[in-house]
Amino acid sequence: MGIWIINGTLVHNELETTLSHLYIEQGKIAQIVKASGDALPATDGHEVIDAKGALISAGLIDMHVHLREPGFEHKETIASGTRSAARGGFTTIACMPNTRPVIDTVETVKYVLDKAEQEGIVRVLPYGCITKNELGRELTDFAALKAAGVIGFTDDGVGVQSAQMMKDAMAKAAAMGMPIIAHCEDNTLVEGAPVNEGTFATKHGLKGIPNESEAIHVGRDILLAEATGVHYHVCHVSTEQSIRLIRLGKQIGVKVTAEVCPHHLLLCEEDIPGMDANWKMNPPLRSRRDMEACIEALEDGTIDILITDHAPHSEEEKAKGMNLAPFGIVGFETAFPLLYTKFVATGRWTLAFLLERMTSKPADVFKLTSGRIEIGADADLTIIDLEQEKAVDPTTFASKSRNTPFTGWKLKGWPKLTMVAGKVVWSE
């Protein structure tokens, strides 16, 4: 017995969309049939899911998320985080190692993979730390972590401050064909500032995080990537200056790729309503000019992929206020509707472009086999209603945390059903 998903809209490319039926057998896509009139394929003896004209996308992929387990289970767990991801239409997520303990040993990699297997409902790909405890002093055992199943190395949450340490890490990663994923931040330029150095900081008398604190690392690391030949991936790009450097790096043939979050495309410092820590994240909301540079960079391919940087924190932690609250906002359950409503429904992007940046592009950048609807592929799929309009209501989130600046936004493009390897893991 297999599953027929009937009457779904498939986006083949910018020009071609078809109403189609998909047949799934043993977790894989076995047939793709173009609908003709009202005629249905022979579905006898099979399970039938009627997509009712809604979009069927390859399952969304998010290469930058925080699941908080082990150590911060009050913010999120692998169980709650993967449910939140499924509701957002994500079928594969790559989790950051800034847990407690951090993911810097084989034991912790195993712990995360076992938990994901037992309690997770979407695919979880862990990253391992570049340095032990993310302290920047000593490299982890890359070979052992790779063998245990990590897909790349990163100290996300903090920048690797020493250029020599980063160079050694890149040389080692390059030798084993693994990517380095970098949170770019020079601590000497940041000094505990909670928001961007700009209009909001000035108005409220706050210390500011300057654009150079990010871009200095991007520039340094592109030179180191050129020297070592590593695949270097820049986390959550937020500044015009970083983009300029990534563009140059690509032009001269350095293997540099980059990602951007929805909030850096949709919000800037002018939008922050007041001293509300649900607007505090790292990197911070920058100037309008930076926001526009990020949009253009995604459009021209300088930035390769979209990610959420889903960073759950509890209400108590966020209630500490702009100066003391931790950085980060949740992202899974708003990402697709936000991007669809603000960029596709407005006519700026095609649906094909948005889907590519959340499915096949991340798969290509990180050499994953998922991200495409084709015969023989794992049936990782998402059904999305592009028409229904609904306001963002954090009380409905499957995530344990509700720290979002998007409360009340009226959006279209809500996922209805998420399938991983032919199994429905969430449906409305």
Ligand X SMILES: NC(=O)N[C@@H](CC(=O)O)C(=O)O
Quick check: is 304 catalytic? no
**Taking CB within 5 to 8 Å according to partner kind, which of ligand X, Zn ion, none is near residue 98?**
ligand X
- Per residue, the 3-state secondary structure of the chain, as one string, reads CCEEEEEEEEECCCCCEEEEEEEEECCEEEEEEECECCECCCCCCCEEEECCCCEEEECEEEEEECCCCCCCCCCCCHHHHHHHHHHCCEEEEEECCCCCCCCCCHHHHHHHHHHHHHHCCCEEEECECCEHHHCCCCECCHHHHHHHCCCCECCCCCCCCCHHHHHHHHHHHHHCCCCEEECCCCHHHCCCCCEECCHHHHHHCCCEECHHHHHHHHHHHHHHHHHHCCCEEECCCCCHHHHHHHHHHHHCCCCEEEEECHHHHHCCHHHCCCCCHHHCCCCCCCCHHHHHHHHHHHHCCCCCEECCCECCCCHHHHCCCCCCCCCCCCCCCCHHHHHHHHHHCCCCCCHHHHHHHHCHHHHHHCCCCCCCCCCCCECCEEEEEEEEEEECCHHHCCCCCCCCCCCCCEEEEEEEEEEECCEEEEEC
Query: Site residues (CB under 6 A) for ligand X?
Result: 66, 98, 156-157, 183, 281-282, 309, 311, 326-328
Tell me which stretch binds Zn ion (CB under 5 A): 39-47, 132-140, 156-164, 290-298.
156-164
Q: How far is the CB of 27 from Zn ion (least distance, A)?
A: 30
286 is in an annotated binding site: no
Q: Based on CB atoms, which residue is closest to ligand X, 8 or 328?
A: 328
298 is in an annotated binding site: no
The footprint of Zn ion on residues 201-260 (CB under 5 A) is 235
For Zn ion, the binding residue among 62, 76, 156, 290 (CB under 5 A) is: 156
The footprint of Zn ion on residues 306-345 (CB under 5 A) is 309
Q: How far is the CB of 315 from ligand X (least distance, A)?
A: 15
Dist CA 17 CA 11 (whole Å): 5
**Taking CB within 5 to 8 Å according to partner kind, which of ligand X, Zn ion, none is near residue 327?**
ligand X
Q: Based on CB atoms, which residue is closest to Zn ion, 123 or 310?
A: 310
Q: Based on CB atoms, which residue is closest to ligand X, 312 or 337?
A: 312
**Taking CB within 5 to 8 Å according to partner kind, which of ligand X, Zn ion, none is near residue 328?**
ligand X
Number of residues that bind Zn ion (CB under 5 A): 4
**Exactly one of 104, 155, 221, 309 is catalytic; which is it?**
309
328 is in an annotated binding site: yes
271 is in an annotated binding site: no
**Taking CB within 5 to 8 Å according to partner kind, which of ligand X, Zn ion, none is near residue 238?**
none
67 is in an annotated binding site: yes
For Zn ion, the binding residue among 75, 123, 172, 183 (CB under 5 A) is: 183
Task: Name 321's bridge partners.
Answer: none
Q: How far is the CB of 427 from ligand X (least distance, A)?
A: 29
Q: Based on CB atoms, which residue is closest to Zn ion, 309 or 380?
A: 309
**Taking CB within 5 to 8 Å according to partner kind, which of ligand X, Zn ion, none is near residue 115?**
none
In the annotated binding site, the residues are 64, 66-68, 98, 156, 183, 236, 282, 309, 313, 327-328
Question: Annotated active-site positions, please?
Answer: 309
Residues that bind Zn ion (CB under 5 A): 156, 183, 235, 309
